[in-house]
Amino acid sequence: MASETQEPESEGNEGRREGWPRWSIWMLIALVLASVIVPSLLNRESGTAIDYSGLVDEVTDGRIDSIVVTNQTGAIRAEAIDGTTYTSKGPIELPEADLQLLRDRNIDVEFRTEKSNPFLSFLPILLPFALIIGLFWWMQRRAQGQMSGIMSIGRSKARTYTTERPDTGFDDIAGYKGVKQEITEVVDFLKAPERFAAVGARIPKGVLLVGPPGTGKTLIARAVAGEAGVPFLSVTGSDFMEMFVGVGASRVRDLFQTARKLGRAIIFIDEIDSIGRKRGAGLGGGHDEREQTLNQMLAEMDGFEATEGIVMMAATNRPDILDPALLRPGRFDRQVVVPLPEFEERSEILAVHIKDKTASEEIDLDTVAKGTPGMSGADLANLVNEAALNAVRMDREAIVQDDFEMARDRILMGQRRESVAMTDREKEVTAYHEGGHALIATLFANADPVHKVTILPTGQALGVTMQLPEERHSYSQDYIEDRLAVLFGGRMAEDTVFGVTSTGAANDLMQGTELARRMVTEWGMSGRVGPMAWGSDNQVFLGDGLMSGRDYSDETARVIDEEVERILRTQENRARQALVEHRPALDRIATALLDRETISGNEVAQLIPEPAEAQKQSAEIPKGAVPPPVGQSESD
């Protein structure tokens, strides 16, 4: 909710109220200036200003009745017979001739000595004392500010959003209908807790939002507060940690006390995994500051009843590393998965982000959504912004469809490097390398469709074969094997045509080796190893098995390595055989790339004359597989 933010009052602010108010300093300065300026304004002479010689002429002509002379400044004020007043400036001591003229004309002359301003007389003496007093006052205030900061270090840094102008609700979130339905009970409880109390139902104390980064977990939590019309206390997990021992626990206590004062409220902790990791993980022991903070949070969640109207909401990208005590019933006992958006949800999200942009009416957001599988809400917002930047770069007044195409290529493949100048030999090798990727991806039935192939230096690669993966939730062994063959297509194309390989396949080999090892150790796709899953060796991060190594024997490790090698060799041979059989098609694709530098997936399919072998077939996708990293094949 974009409503007013109320910061907790610090002790420094309370001390300011007890001392002088801030306006009193400005009032004192105004009085000093008034004492200097006002007397000079009051003593300012009024009348017709004439020069001294003119005043002497007036006296000679007998038109002056009286004169007042100021001794300190030589200022003269003359009253004429007709009532006119003249002001002039003469010498401090009038000449004897002029004095005689005044006597001869019987003019009343008064020599006046003005009294000096007493404040101005003492000002040179008071100024040093004022500076010294001001210096001591400033040092005292600075020391009080530092002390107040130290004394308030244990206070919660949570920002409190009131409900005076709630403008974030479920209608402002595109898609995620299932997530909205799952947390509607929380909204109903906060609106009318008496309904649940009458039946004896207990609403979950804590709701944990789990999902990849950028899926809108924080926005969903604020929408719950907006729908329920209750205050929303937002804090991140890192706000609890300081260099002083006990600060985190103190801030947790202050956070819950603030929530209880508000009555019904939502406490939202973003990135809770920073303080909620498994206790005993690492070298800190039981006195680790993070563990003390977690212990205090667990105690506070047990300390309030569900009928109090306080609901805890938290977000994390790593639920696997959270402490089990944090996830037990009575604490964060409900987990809401916020997944990556599907096709329809991506289209709705794009429509939300393009509202404040000047876009052409011919833009088809469904087409853009189909070409962005795996993108989160934040990625889609970045895509729309990149499209707008590209429109400005091309001097367009509105965003068009091509801008989205360019923005997607920039995000997925990287920025084009115009400064890289490749030799003819490098261009030819790169063309065959990328042509090998594209040919295998087009021939094999389970591979992702080819979207675009380019030999222009892009990102960290000299060429890119961009594939757009279909919307999948699980991956079959056939799909992974075909993907491995696509990865080896570039390397085998270089070996088939030139008889040598280059460093351009480094990224392909890394991806292929990782996929093959996961097939053997995690997904049970090796007949020799069997239906067994071996954990990763990188468990020290979680504090599990700090001093232990892998959980399988050396003989098993040797079998795993042999199986990984067998899988990679098999797919390498498949790619080589397909390239040898379709060598004319590979030559046509490479020639097209050398001529035009960039071709589309449809153009690649047209260059392959064997329609029966190139026909794509939909592969069966069994459940239970973990999706491997899918994307693009690059030549480094």
- Which has more confidence, 619 or 37? 37
In Å, how far are 39, 75, 455, 501 from 44, measured between CA atoms? 9, 11, 87, 98
Residues 165, 133 share a domain: no
Residues 407 and 440 in one domain: no
Same domain, 247 and 129: no
Is 96 inside a domain boundary? yes
Q: Is 550 found in the same domain as 451?
A: yes
The active-site residue, picked from 58, 227, 271, 434, is 434
Handedness of CA 249, 255, 261, 265 (dihedral sign): negative
Residue 627 lies inside a defined structural domain of this protein? yes
**Which amino acid makes up residue 18?**
E
C-alpha to C-alpha distance for 353 and 407, rounded to whole angstroms: 15
Asked whether the beta carbons of 1 and 225 are under 8 A apart, the reply is yes
User: Is 419 within the bounds of a domain?
Assistant: no
How many Å apart are CA 180 and CA 186, to the nearest integer? 10
Q: How far apart are CA 381 and CA 499, in angstroms?
A: 46
Catalytic site includes residue 434: yes
Q: Which residue has the higher pLDDT, 512 or 470?
A: 512
Is residue 67 one of the residues assigned to a domain?
yes
Residue at which a domain ends, from 413, 443, 470? 413
| Order of all β-strands in the sheet with 48-49 | 48-49, 85-89, 75-80, 64-70, 108-112
Contacts of 289 (CB under 8 A, 6+ apart): 241, 245, 246, 247, 248
CATH number at residue 525: 1.20.58.760
Beta strand pairing call for 265-270 and 334-337: unpaired
pLDDT at 436: 93
Whether 418 maps to a domain, the answer reads: no
Task: Over range 404-423, report the average pLDDT.
Answer: 77
Q: What pTM did the predictor assign?
A: 0.62
For residue 371, the domain's CATH number is 1.10.8.60
Answer yes or no: do 277 and 400 share one domain: no
Residue-wise burial string across 256-277, b where 16 or more C-beta atoms lie within 10 A, e elsewhere: bebbeebebbbbbbbbbbbbbb
Residue 140: φ, ψ to 5°:
-65, -45
Position 570 scores a pLDDT of: 94
Q: Which of 366, 504, 343, 384 is nearest to 435 (CA)?
A: 504
Task: Look at residue 160 in the predicted model and tell me its pLDDT.
Answer: 55
178 and 130, same domain (yes or no): no
Among the ranges given (104-118, 312-326, 383-397), the one the predictor scored with the smallest mean pLDDT? 104-118
Tens of pLDDT, residues 163-180:
444 467 777 777 777 787
Strand partners, 458: 416, 461
Tell me the pLDDT tens digit for each residue of 133-158.
877 777 777 666 555 554 444 455 45
Average pLDDT (18-25) is 60
pLDDT for 55 beyond 90: no
DSSP, collapsed to helix, strand or coil, labels residue 502 as coil
What's the CA gap between 259 and 514, in Å, rounded?
48
Under DSSP, the state recorded for 577 is: H
Number of domains in the chain: 5
Mean pLDDT across 510-534? 89
> Which one is predicted more confidently, 614 or 337?
337
Listed range (18-27, 175-184, 397-406) with the worst mean pLDDT: 18-27
Of 361, 412, 356, the residue nearest 384 (C-alpha)? 356
Last residue of a domain, one of 413, 445, 463: 413
Question: Residue range 322-340: average pLDDT?
Answer: 82
CATH number reported for the structural domain that contains residue 50 in this entry: 3.30.720.210
> Is the pLDDT at 307 greater than 60, yes or no?
no
Residue 622: predicted pLDDT: 35
Report the SS3 class of residue 289.
helix
600 band by pLDDT with thresholds 50, 70 and 90: confident
Residue 23: band (very low, low, confident or very high) from pLDDT cuts 50, 70, 90: low
Judged by average pLDDT, the poorest of 185-194, 392-401, 446-455, 550-559 is 185-194
The CA radius of gyration of the chain, in Å to the nearest whole number, is: 41
**261, part of any domain:** yes
Strand order in the sheet with 206-210: 5-6, 159-161, 232-236, 265-270, 310-316, 206-210, 334-337
Residue 240 lies in a domain: yes
Could you tell me if residue 342 is inside a domain?
A: no
Are residues 523 and 510 part of one domain?
Answer: yes
Distance between CA 484 and CA 511 in Å, rounded?
A: 8
Domain boundary among 270, 302, 337: 337
Q: Are residues 374 and 234 in the same domain?
A: no
| HSE-up (13 A, CA, CB side) for residue 177 | 5
Residues in the chain: 636
Q: What is the mean pLDDT of the chain?
A: 75
Q: Which of 21-30, 205-214, 424-433 has the lowest mean pLDDT?
A: 21-30
Q: Are residues 398 and 509 in the same domain?
A: no
| pLDDT beyond 90 at 286 | no
pLDDT at position 492: 93
Q: How far apart are CA 476 and CA 447, in angstroms?
A: 11
Distance CA 318, CA 282 (A): 17
> Burial letters for 156-190: b for 16+ Cβ neighbours within 10 Å, e otherwise?
bbbebbebeebebbbeebbbbeebbeebeebbebb
What pLDDT does 328 receive? 81
pLDDT computed for residue 550 by the predictor: 65
Q: Which helix (H) or strand (E) holds 565?
A: helix 554-581
Residue 179 sits in a domain of what CATH number? Answer: 3.40.50.300
In one-letter notation, the amino acid at residue 29 is I
Q: Which residue has the higher pLDDT, 113 or 375?
A: 375
- In one-letter notation, the amino acid at residue 557 is A
pLDDT digits (tens, 9 = 90+) for 416-462: 776 677 788 888 899 999 999 999 999 998 888 888 898 888 777 78
pLDDT exceeds 70 at position 108: yes
When pLDDT is cut at 50, 70 and 90, the band that residue 3 belongs to is: very low
The reply to whether 169 and 276 lie within a common domain is yes
In a shared domain, residues 132 and 79: no
Q: What is the pLDDT of residue 516?
A: 93
- What are the Cα distances from residue 71, in Å, to 50, 67, 89, 91, 339? 19, 13, 11, 9, 92
- Provide the domain limits for residue 94: 44-112
The average pLDDT across 226-240 equals 76
Give just the sign of the alpha carbon dihedral 495, 497, 500, 502. Answer: negative
Residues 495-521: tens digit of each pLDDT: 999 988 888 888 899 999 999 999 999
On whether both 356 and 503 belong to a single domain, the answer is: no
